[in-house]
Amino acid sequence: NAGVTQTPKFRVLKTGQSMTLLCAQDMNHEYMYWYRQDPGMGLRLIHYSVGEGTTAKGEVPDGYNVSRLKKQNFLLGLESAAPSQTSVYFCASRLTGFRFQPQHFGDGTRLSIL
Amino acid sequence: AQSVTQLDSQVPVFEEAPVELRCNYSSSVSVYLFWYVQYPNQGLQLLLKYLSGSTLVESINGFEAEFNKSQTSFHLRKPSVHISDTAEYFCAVSDSTGFQKLVFGTGTRLLVSP
């Protein structure tokens, strides 16, 4: 019963490098989200997806791209990493429906950019 | 736009003492309100939620929160805390549309000591 799995758990990058964070969920959830968590700022929404092939911008989308080619996967890309993107990144997913469905969170990816 | 204010960044308390974590929100539309808990090196877990109906909501582990529309507050309380309640607690708000884009407060670290 994996739930939401984030890969990798830790990564150190140099400024200007690129990388992709993977979020995988095995609960057949339609909605998926990417957040970043910074000290003293709580979690902020980067991008979200309401289904396969669709994505939308959240509160802080600049410097990030996302893709949802398969329902179970939501990828977050950094094309040219900057020190300001040092953060802990969380993925979440949830079902849709008329009744409230909570978001299920992964354990996070700690990303440091030097 | 919505916003959430958690005035206390850290709340130290002794075991078996009562605790209140404060949360105030701002919104021009109807909202859903949430409390999430984050244990070290883990993702967020939904603790309790207010969607509609009774303004007092409870969790399975003894926490409760009361929605106060006139004071735009959703404070979290527990009459007697345990060491295991040590964690970071986030208040969050979303509008009542289907996207459930959460806006989080900056978090309150609850430190329970013997």
Per-residue pLDDT of chain B (114 residues; tens, 9 = 90+): 789 999 999 999 999 999 999 999 998 777 889 999 999 888 899 999 988 888 888 888 899 999 998 899 999 999 999 999 999 999 999 887 777 888 999 999 999 999
Residue in chain B lying closest to A98 (CA): B98
Cα-Cα-Cα-Cα dihedral sign, residues B92, B21, B27, A86: negative
Q: What is the rounded distance in angstroms from the CA atom of residue A85 to the CA atom of residue A60?
A: 11
A59 interface with B at CB cutoff 8 Å: yes
Of B90, B100, B105, the CB nearest to A103: B100
pLDDT tens for residues A11-38?
999 999 999 999 999 999 999 999 999 9
Residue A81 CA to residue A51 CA, distance in Å, equals 27
Q: How close does chain A come to B77, measured CA to CA in Å?
A: 20
Nearest to A42 among B32, B49, B107 (CB): B107
∠ CA B89-A73-A65, nearest 5°, is 80
CA torsion B109→B57→B96→A61, rounded to 10°?
10
CB contact under 8 A, B46 and A103: yes
Mean pLDDT for the stretch of residues A97-112? 86
